[in-house]
Chains A and B, each alone.
Chain A
């Protein structure tokens, strides 16, 4: 029952390093949250992509934090967010007429970082804040990581050289590049914290409403 690590045999460990078993109620809740995240990615993600809205990744990540934090409040079992992320990623992949790696990978990584935060700090508000900030920080680095995989690490040297030239032309000290990157990362993390706080409040209020009507 529950979440356990296979230690009985090496073969089993290789086959499955973590096994998640949910109760029926938890399965239903996980399915609902997975479907909700999948629907958000399909409907809102596609609409934002078609409209070429800037920073659409941030919008989708904020909504993802909302779903992830609420999901963890209702399905507290360890590893449940991985299951929800897998469901959402597969739904997103199926909706695109053929699996596309990048969005699926982004969804699963967001779920994974949130799961790690909750596994380390327990299911509480502080963990939710860490999960939110980590998810948004991943969004910040996603584009750079994807370009690194596609073009190789040389692309970072090109960007660095270009930035240096632009800063030199504008007569701005070099430290400003680091300050700019740090500032952007901080803004992303702060947005994640706000989204997680909001999601935590929503989850607690929803629990109260369910208890009242039970």
Chain B
């Protein structure tokens, strides 16, 4: 029952009449205060408070026909009620979604993917998980280090650069033409010589770059 509570709450929130939203919101806060207080504290996030301020304070001044006033500032009561209802609805949805996501764990996500038909997910995910640190470090190096050279390469030979990067990723490490285990994707890219690419207008032929790479690989295996 506990796992279905957030789904039931979201469903109820969508169909609930506007008049009942304050009571529903109070009940939801009380429920999550007892079950999981961290979900209630999500309402203190700046983005939610700013949006609530815009909907409750600014919106009635701009939207609808002004029919009431506070300190000579005229506002629309219908828009004010609408803004309050939207904010309360958002509060309930935020808390319930937060609770739902907190219940999720890695194993339960795997089960969800398997249930929708992705039977190979566990094996593919475990392989992807082992590849992730290598790719993260390579991307970080690519973004942070020597970005001027990378940008120049990307501007002049974007397809060639990306294709070679992709080949570097897909080629298995034990392949005779692949790089050593220690060599990263970033190094694969930075070893591309822009002058070689410029000189090679007709694609598909062996290049000096390829020979360089071959010789480097030979060196690394020795």
Q: Establish whether residues B82 and A158, one from each chain, have CB atoms under 8 Å apart when the complex forms.
A: yes
**Chain B CB within 10 A, most for which of A22, A39, A99:** A39
CB–CB B124/A27 < 8 A? yes
A174 within 8 Å of B (CB atoms):
no
Set A31, A162, A201: member contacting B62, Cβ < 8 A: A162
With contact pairs A36-B169, A158-B59, A210-B171 given, residues A27 and B140 touching in the complex (Cβ less than 8 Å): no
B123 touches A27 (CB 8 A): yes
Bound together, the chains give a CA A34 to CA B89 distance in angstroms of 35
Flag the segment in A40-48, A53-61, A137-145, A181-189 that touches B.
A40-48
Given A16-B119, A20-B118, A20-B119, output 19 extra A-B contacts at Cβ < 8 Å: A16-B117, A22-B120, A27-B127, A28-B172, A29-B170, A44-B139, A83-B118, A90-B110, A90-B113, A90-B125, A91-B129, A149-B93, A151-B55, A151-B86, A158-B63, A201-B159, A206-B164, A206-B167, A213-B177
User: Interface residues, chain B, CB within 8 Å of chain A?
Assistant: 14, 51, 55, 59, 62-64, 79, 82, 85-87, 89-90, 93-94, 97, 100-102, 104, 106, 109-110, 113, 115-121, 123-125, 127-129, 131-132, 135-136, 138-140, 143, 158-160, 162-164, 166-167, 169-172, 177, 203-204, 206
With A20-B118, A21-B119 known to touch, is A206 a contact of B132 (CB < 8 Å)?
no
Name which residue of chain A comes closest to B92, CB basis.
Answer: A150
Closest partner residue, chain B, to A205 (CB atom): B163
Complex: chain A residue closest to B119, CB-CB:
A19
CA distance A180 to B94 in the complex (A): 31
In the complex the two chains form, what is the Cα distance from A66 to B110 in whole Å?
26
The reply to whether B128 and A19 form a contact with Cβ atoms under 8 Å apart is no
The reply to whether B135 and A36 form a contact with Cβ atoms under 8 Å apart is yes
Q: B129 to chain A: which residues have CB within 8 Å?
A: 35, 91
| Residue in A15, A44, A209 whose CB lies within 8 Å of B164 | A209
CA distance A18 to B117 in the complex (A): 5
Partner of A154, one of B82, B101, B163: B82
Chain A 180-213: CB-based contact to B (< 8 A → 1; otherwise 0): 0000000000000000001001110110111011
Q: Which residues of B contact A132 (CB under 8 A)?
A: none
* Docked CA distance A93–B125 (Å): 13
Q: Given that A19-B119, A74-B170 are contacting pairs, would A91 and B159 also be in contact in the complex, using a CB cutoff of 8 Å?
A: no
Q: Are A39 and B63 in contact (CB under 8 A)?
A: no
Q: Say whether B159 contacts A209, CB under 8 Å.
A: no
Which chain B residue has the least Cβ–Cβ distance from A201?
B159
Interface residues as binary, A142-162 with B (CB distance below 8 Å gives 1, 0 otherwise): 000000011110110010011
Which residue of chain A has its CB nearest to the CB of B162? A202
> Are B109 and A93 neighbours in the complex by a CB distance under 8 Å?
yes
Q: What are 7 A-B contacts defined by CB distance under 8 Å?
A: A32-B169, A35-B135, A79-B118, A90-B110, A98-B101, A152-B14, A154-B85
Please state if B166 and A202 are interface contacts (CB–CB under 8 Å). yes
Q: Is A119 an interface position by the 8 A CB rule?
A: no
Residue A202 contacts which of B89, B163, B172 (CB distance < 8 angstroms)? B163
A177: interface (CB < 8 Å): no
CB pair A31–B127 under 8 Å, yes or no, is yes
* Contact A151/B90 with A17-B116, A98-B101, A205-B160 known, Cβ cut-off 8 Å: yes
For residue B51, which residues in chain A have a CB less than 8 angstroms away from its CB?
151
Chain B residue, CB-CB nearest to A77: B120
